[in-house]
Amino acid sequence: MPSPTAAKTLALIDLLAKHPAGLSSAEAARKSGITGNLVFRILKTLVEMGFATQREDNKLYALSNRLLDLSRPKVGDRSLVLCAHEALRSLRDDTGETAQLTIESGGKALVLEQVQGSHALQVCGQVGMRIPLYSCAPGKAILAWWNEERRAEWFRGRALKSFTATTLSNRKDLERELAESRLKGFTVDRAEGIEGIHCVAAPVLDEYGNPIAAITMMAPINRLPTDLFDKLGTRCKQAAASIEQQLRL
């Protein structure tokens, strides 16, 4: 028989995950239907154990990155994030732009790690953020390097929504671009998820050629025009190869 307190703790964790800006104890009690005293005790315990934080200014509770840290993937006994750290920093230093390490999780692209760029105006995401696979360069890098069976399974019953005028929301068009990307070794995002933002990415592959993750850089269109896609796509390929080498040491 499941523990009622454990179930309520998990319900509060799920609730906080849906409110990244944070909730007060009273708001969490109202939204969850759990008694205020129990909510307060659970939230305090989550903070003490590092699974949540409480802001000083408004006292709102929010999840920390500890759950994500616990679930971060490893290849063998090597941490993917640690193996990617140097490559991410090098990509950022070479381009001045934000670099990210992304994996597939629940059918979406999940930002696993990020190194913020050095320009005054930056395009940044958030570690733990989930993005549709088909509307961002790193997601397309994972889709492109999946085998046909896994890709077909992902497409099955899935509606492709248009987020901008350039989103590839037609499966045939998307499949065509994924095939072209495999030949080039990298993928691009022509403002397909967010207006005014371009991205390039390359897959990080295991020893059998399956995608473990993708490394990407992103920038405003004026700093990453389409005529730089080949140059920076090649740079992402180099960064991905560096991560692969670290994973196999």
What tokens were used for 120?
């005054």
> Taking a C-beta distance cutoff of 8 angstroms, is the pair 193, 135 a contact?
yes
From 200, 192, 199, 207, select the one nearest 238 (Cα to Cα): 200
At residue 72, does pLDDT exceed 70?
no
Average pLDDT across the chain, whole number: 89
Round to whole Å and give the CA distance between 247 and 100. Answer: 17
At residue 70, does pLDDT exceed 60?
no
What pLDDT score does 214 carry? 97
- DSSP category for residue 136: S
At residue 249, does pLDDT exceed 80?
no
What pLDDT score does 200 carry? 98
Q: How confident is residue 66, by pLDDT bands cut at 50, 70 and 90?
A: low
Residue with more model confidence, 43 or 249: 43
Phi and psi, residue 49, nearest 5°: -90, 0
What pLDDT score does 94 carry? 94
Evaluated on CA atoms 144, 146, 148, 154, the torsion sign reads negative
Number of Cβ within a 10 Å radius of residue 183 = 7
Tell me the pLDDT tens digit for each residue of 6-25: 888 888 888 988 887 789 99
What pLDDT score does 240 carry? 97
> Taking a C-beta distance cutoff of 8 angstroms, is the pair 142, 243 a contact?
no
Place of tokens 């990453």: 224
The three-state secondary structure class of 221 is coil
What pLDDT score does 125 carry? 82
Round to whole Å and give the CA distance between 146 and 140. Answer: 10
Give Cβ neighbours of residue 109 (< 8 Å, ≥ 6 apart).
Answer: 102, 103, 130, 131, 132, 133, 136, 138, 139, 142, 214
Out of 38-47, 116-125, 140-149, 223-232, least confident range: 116-125
Out of 121-125, 217-221, 226-230, least confident range: 121-125
Tell me the pLDDT tens digit for each residue of 134-193: 999 999 999 999 999 999 999 998 999 999 999 999 999 999 999 999 999 999 999 999
The CA distances from residue 1 to 4, 8, 241, in Å, are 9, 14, 48
User: Domain limits of the chain?
Assistant: 4-68, 72-247
Rounded mean pLDDT, 242-246: 93
Strands 130-132 and 197-205: unpaired
At residue 220, does pLDDT exceed 80?
yes
CATH topology of domain 4-68: Arc Repressor Mutant, subunit A (1.10.10)
Round to whole Å and give the CA distance between 168 and 161. Answer: 9
Long-range contacts of 58-62 (CB under 8 A, 24+ apart): 58/22, 58/24, 59/24, 60/21, 60/22, 60/23, 60/24, 61/16, 61/22, 61/23, 61/24, 61/25, 61/28, 62/16, 62/19, 62/20, 62/21, 62/22, 62/23
Q: How confident is residue 78, by pLDDT bands cut at 50, 70 and 90?
A: low
The three-state secondary structure class of 190 is strand
CATH topology of domain 72-247: Beta-Lactamase (3.30.450)
pTM of the model: 0.71
